[in-house]
């Protein structure tokens, strides 16, 4: 095979036809066959002489030629799209590339590489996988590489015998993971911060869990911490703590350097508990435990997506569990809600096959509660939630599978009690989809400009991989405790754009205010990105102290400036213009209210969509 290719390399030369074509293109017609042959040989040689040293023999990269054939001729051509000039003129200029900057970090301290985001993960995921799936393999001699990597990263243990361990065969005890003093301290700090009262600290801790590459040593402990924590707090109905623990699960799952498979047996029960438990809080009528169920359901869906294999069958087992308790007549509304949420997060297919057929029955049950007289308030709230949940998830699916027109009567016959409501939801979903489609079209148009990859480069370095970042910011929005209904976050919005909302008030307190606000947002993007590239990100985040000289008074003016942090520049530039005017107009009173009541002022009310 290789031999063949090699041969080809030696003898390949341009066909005489292309010589002819080239000659014609410069006005020389009727070139003789012999001259063509001579020319092609010469040209092939020269091309090899010039191009080969530069580009090598085989291009690994995409070659921008398209192929077309027809009329017995085969053609490779370079596609040049026609571009509307006005499009180019009207599109805003791409951002100026960031300037070169210098950043220092410790690659090694006294011969030991510290586990910091700037350094690559000490134990690559594959190795963790090998460790957990094939435990015997690492004990085998001759795999010095694995041995040294582990030795180096074990901190304290590596410190005593750096040079010697290479030759030795390291028999690693499977069950115990000794942590260095630093790691123990870190573990203590992180767990305390995660369940503590300071939201700023928690944000930092979760950020650390989600990005730090050196955590795999502590993974068993984190996992036990979470599962034990859930067990205890479910009994005590401590909603806040359960939320914190679920956020830890989320952070762990977001960390790209961790291989979680080994600890799913502890994590999944904990998550499922938070979805379907009968009671999660002390005052089920007031507290928003629904948000926790939604959040945990989403986590469950995420872990199904990432970890489900044909051997562990996570998804089917989970589906079975949910369906079973949903089908049970005696199941409480809370659990019922959890089951439906868990199922519907698994995707439209699950909704289609498992939920849609039961809409009529479920509708009847809800009807019984809503229209019946002797039910408790709690049941009523529960039925209410189940209803909106069903409407939310089913509408989009029905919109896709059911042909128009949407007639309320038809829906009633098909879906029973919920039919008419479903009908209006489906119609809404349809218009929204149409809107979105338009938007997608618009954004794809602008993609033709050169895509600045800058944002990726810096966020990548700070340890938070590109696709993960949006989720960090989304977390708080789905966990807003006091807002009556967590409807908005699940609404489809362009996934690429995120918003940081910053508030400033007039007078001396302005800086302080900024800090408190930004820290009150859990896992704020400010803390996540700014430290890594302090100088480079500055222009994005505008702080406007709104206090003119005339405005200083008893009522400090609050100004919101919405800064969009695009993951790709193209979409942001468009949305930005539409966001700015609306967001700035938010009046001081509203702002103050938001400060009081919500953890994340950005998501629910500020979203332009």
Partner 1 sequence: MAAVQGGPVDAVEEKDIKTEPSNDGCGSNSTNDGRAASASPGSGAPAAGAKPAAAAPEDQQTLLAVLQFLKKNKLTESVDILRREAGLPEDSLDLKGADSSAAGSGGDLGAADASSLLSRVTASSSAVVQAPTKAAGEDQPDVNVVLSAYSQQGDPKLYPVYYNGLKRFIESVLDCHRAELSQVFYPLFVHMYLELVYNNYESEAKAFFEKFRGDQECYYEDDLRILSSLSKREHMRGNETLLDFRTSKFVLRISRDSYQLLKRHLQERQNNQIWNIIQEHLYIDIFDGMPRSKSQIDAMSGSLAGEAKREANKAKVYYGLLKEPEIELPLDDEDEEAENEEGKPKKKKPKKDSVGSKSKKQDPNAPQQTRIPLPELKDSDKLDKIMYMKEATKRIRLGPENLPSICFYSFLNAYQGLTAVDFTDDSSLIAGGFADSTVRVWSVTPKKLRKVKSAADLNLIDKESDDVLERIMDEKTASELKILYGHSGPVYGISFSPDRNYLLSSSEDGTVRLWSLQTFTCLVGYKGHNYPVWDTHFSPHGYYFVSGGHDRVARLWATDHYQPLRIFSGHLADVTCTRFHPNSNYVATGSSDRTIRLWDVLNGSCVRIFTGHKGPIHALAFSPNGKFLASGATDSRVLLWDIGHGLMIGELKGHTDSIYSLRFSRDGEILASGSMDNTVRLWNATKAFDDLETDDFTAATGHVHLQDNSQELLLGTYMSKSTPVINLHFTRRNLLLAAGSYNP
Which one of 26, 54, 85, 104 is in contact with partner 1 (CB under 8 A)? 104
If the CB atoms of residues 307 and 461 are measured against partner 1, the closer one turns out to be 461
Which one of 4, 34, 49, 61 is in contact with partner 1 (CB under 8 A)? 49
Which one of 14, 41, 424, 449 is in contact with partner 1 (CB under 8 A)? 41
Which one of 236, 353, 444, 453 is in contact with partner 1 (CB under 8 A)? 453
| Contact flag: residue 384 with partner 1 (CB under 8 A) | no
Residue 597 tokens read as 């009541």
| Contact flag: residue 54 with partner 1 (CB under 8 A) | no
217 contacts 257 by C-beta, under 8 angstroms:
no
Per this entry, what is the length of the chain? 609
Quickly tell me which residue has 């951002």 as its tokens: 95
| Contact flag: residue 39 with partner 1 (CB under 8 A) | no
- Cα–Cα distance measured from residue 473 to residue 599, given in angstroms and rounded to the nearest whole number: 11
Angle 88-93-95 from CA coordinates, rounded to 5° = 145
Cα dihedral 138, 144, 150, 155, rounded to 10, equals 150
Binding mask 151-180 for partner 1 (x = CB under 8 A): -x---------xx--x--------------
Smallest gap, in angstroms, from Cβ of residue 170 to partner 1?
Answer: 16
Which one of 105, 129, 451, 485 is in contact with partner 1 (CB under 8 A)? 105
- Cα–Cα distance measured from residue 499 to residue 606, given in angstroms and rounded to the nearest whole number: 9
If the CB atoms of residues 18 and 108 are measured against partner 1, the closer one turns out to be 108
- Cα–Cα distance measured from residue 576 to residue 564, given in angstroms and rounded to the nearest whole number: 6
Smallest gap, in angstroms, from Cβ of residue 45 to partner 1?
Answer: 5
8-state DSSP, 355: I
| Contact flag: residue 457 with partner 1 (CB under 8 A) | yes
Q: Where are the beta strands (DSSP E) in 341-433?
A: none
Report which secondary-structure segment, H or E, holds 452.
none
563 forms beta bridges with 500
- Cα–Cα distance measured from residue 16 to residue 33, given in angstroms and rounded to the nearest whole number: 7
If the CB atoms of residues 50 and 88 are measured against partner 1, the closer one turns out to be 50
Smallest gap, in angstroms, from Cβ of residue 491 to partner 1?
Answer: 32
Burial class (CB in 10 A: 0-12, 13-18, 19+), 536: middle
263 closest CA partner among 298, 299, 227: 227
User: In this chain, which stretch among 9-17, 86-94, 411-419, 467-475 interacts with partner 1, using CB under 8 A?
Assistant: 9-17
| Contact flag: residue 85 with partner 1 (CB under 8 A) | no
The torsion angles phi and psi of 557, rounded to 5 degrees, stand at -80, 135
Residue 406 tokens read as 């949407």
| Contact flag: residue 120 with partner 1 (CB under 8 A) | yes
Smallest gap, in angstroms, from Cβ of residue 461 to partner 1?
Answer: 6
77 closest CA partner among 68, 86, 87: 68
If the CB atoms of residues 533 and 563 are measured against partner 1, the closer one turns out to be 533
| Contact flag: residue 182 with partner 1 (CB under 8 A) | no
Please, how many CA atoms are within 13 Å of residue 516, restricted to the half-sphere of its CB? 10
| Contact flag: residue 98 with partner 1 (CB under 8 A) | yes
- Cα–Cα distance measured from residue 386 to residue 446, given in angstroms and rounded to the nearest whole number: 41
Residue 155's region, left for phi above 0, alpha for psi from -120 to 50, else beta, is left
Smallest gap, in angstroms, from Cβ of residue 149 to partner 1?
Answer: 9
From first CA to last CA, the distance across the chain in angstroms is 56
416 closest CA partner among 345, 354, 368: 368
| Contact flag: residue 148 with partner 1 (CB under 8 A) | yes
Residue 282 tokens read as 């002390």
If the CB atoms of residues 457 and 606 are measured against partner 1, the closer one turns out to be 457
| Contact flag: residue 36 with partner 1 (CB under 8 A) | no
If the CB atoms of residues 148 and 605 are measured against partner 1, the closer one turns out to be 148
User: In this chain, which stretch among 113-121, 319-327, 430-438, 491-499 interacts with partner 1, using CB under 8 A?
Assistant: 113-121
Please, how many CA atoms are within 13 Å of residue 541, restricted to the half-sphere of its CB? 21
Smallest gap, in angstroms, from Cβ of residue 369 to partner 1?
Answer: 54
Smallest gap, in angstroms, from Cβ of residue 533 to partner 1?
Answer: 7
What letters, b where the CB count within 10 A reaches 16 and e where it falls short, cover 33-46? Answer: eeebeebbeeeeee
Angle 307-476-572 from CA coordinates, rounded to 5° = 90
Which one of 5, 28, 75, 106 is in contact with partner 1 (CB under 8 A)? 106
If the CB atoms of residues 2 and 89 are measured against partner 1, the closer one turns out to be 2
| Contact flag: residue 4 with partner 1 (CB under 8 A) | no
Smallest gap, in angstroms, from Cβ of residue 264 to partner 1?
Answer: 28
Which one of 15, 269, 372, 460 is in contact with partner 1 (CB under 8 A)? 460
| Contact flag: residue 533 with partner 1 (CB under 8 A) | yes
User: In this chain, which stretch among 7-15, 294-302, 563-571, 587-595 interacts with partner 1, using CB under 8 A?
Assistant: 7-15
Residues that bind partner 1 (CB under 8 A): 7, 9-11, 41-42, 45, 48-49, 52, 57, 97-111, 113, 118-120, 144, 148, 152, 162-163, 166, 453-454, 456-458, 460-461, 533, 536
């Amino acid at each position: 095979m290789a031999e063949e290719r090699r041969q080809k390399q030696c003898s390949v030369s341009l066909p005489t036809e292309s010589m002819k074509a080239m000659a014609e293109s410069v006005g020389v017609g009727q070139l003789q066959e012999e001259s063509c042959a001579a020319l092609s040989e010469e040209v092939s040689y020269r091309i090899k002489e010039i191009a080969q040293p530069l580009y090598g023999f085989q291009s690994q990269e995409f070659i921008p030629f398209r192929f077309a054939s027809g009329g017995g001729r085969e053609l490779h051509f370079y596609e040049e799209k026609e571009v509307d000039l006005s499009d180019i003129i009207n599109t805003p200029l791409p951002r100026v590339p960031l300037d070169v900057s210098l950043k220092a970090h410790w690659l090694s301290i006294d011969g030991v590489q510290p586990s910091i985001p700037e350094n690559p993960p000490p134990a690559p995921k594959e190795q963790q996988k090998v460790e957990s799936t094939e435990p015997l393999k690492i004990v085998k001699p001759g795999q010095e590489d694995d041995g040294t990597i582990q030795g180096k990263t074990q901190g304290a243990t590596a410190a005593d015998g750096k040079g010697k361990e290479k030759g030795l065969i390291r028999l690693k005890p499977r069950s115990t993971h000794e942590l260095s003093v630093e790691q123990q301290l870190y573990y203590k700090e992180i767990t305390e911060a995660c369940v503590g009262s300071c939201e700023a600290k928690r944000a930092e801790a979760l950020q650390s869990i989600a990005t730090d590459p050196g955590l795999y040593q502590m993974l068993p402990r984190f996992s036990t911490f979470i599962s034990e924590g859930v067990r205890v707090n479910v009994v005590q109905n401590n909603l806040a703590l359960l939320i914190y623990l679920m956020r830890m699960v989320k952070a762990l799952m977001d960390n790209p350097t961790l291989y979680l498979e080994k600890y799913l047996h502890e994590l999944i029960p904990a998550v499922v508990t938070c979805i379907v438990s009968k009671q999660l809080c002390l005052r089920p009528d007031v507290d928003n435990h629904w948000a926790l169920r939604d959040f945990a359901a989403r986590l469950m869906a995420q872990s199904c997506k990432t970890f489900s294999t044909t051997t562990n069958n996570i998804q089917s087992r989970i589906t079975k569990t949910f369906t079973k308790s949903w089908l049970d007549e005696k199941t409480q509304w809370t659990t019922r809600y959890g089951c439906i949420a868990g199922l519907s997060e698994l995707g439209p297919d699950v909704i289609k096959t498992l939920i849609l057929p039961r809409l009529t029955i479920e509708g009847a049950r809800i009807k019984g509660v809503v229209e019946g007289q002797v039910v408790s308030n709690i049941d009523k709230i529960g039925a209410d939630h189940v209803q909106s949940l069903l409407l939310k998830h089913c509408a989009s699916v029905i919109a896709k599978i059911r042909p128009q027109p949407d007639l309320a009567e038809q829906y009633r016959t098909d879906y029973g009690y919920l039919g008419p409501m479903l009908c209006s939801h489906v119609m809404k979903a349809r218009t929204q989809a149409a809107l979105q489609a338009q938007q997608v079209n618009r954004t794809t148009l602008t993609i033709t400009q050169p895509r600045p990859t800058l944002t990726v480069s810096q966020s990548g370095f700070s340890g938070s991989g590109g696709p993960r970042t949006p989720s960090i910011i989304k977390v708080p929005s789905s966990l807003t405790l006091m807002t009556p209904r967590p409807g908005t976050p699940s609404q489809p919005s362009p996934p690429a754009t995120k918003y940081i909302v910053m508030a400033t008030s007039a007078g001396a307190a302005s800086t302080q205010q900024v800090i408190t606000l930004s820290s009150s947002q859990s896992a704020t993007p400010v803390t996540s990105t700014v430290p890594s590239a302090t100088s480079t990100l500055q222009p994005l985040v505008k702080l406007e102290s709104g206090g003119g000289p005339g405005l200083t008074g008893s009522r400090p003016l609050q100004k919101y400036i919405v800064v969009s942090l695009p993951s790709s520049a193209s979409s942001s530039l468009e949305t930005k213009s539409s966001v700015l005017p609306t967001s700035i107009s938010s009046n001081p009173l509203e702002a103050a209210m938001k400060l009081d009541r919500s953890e994340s002022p950005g998501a629910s009310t500020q979203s332009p969509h």
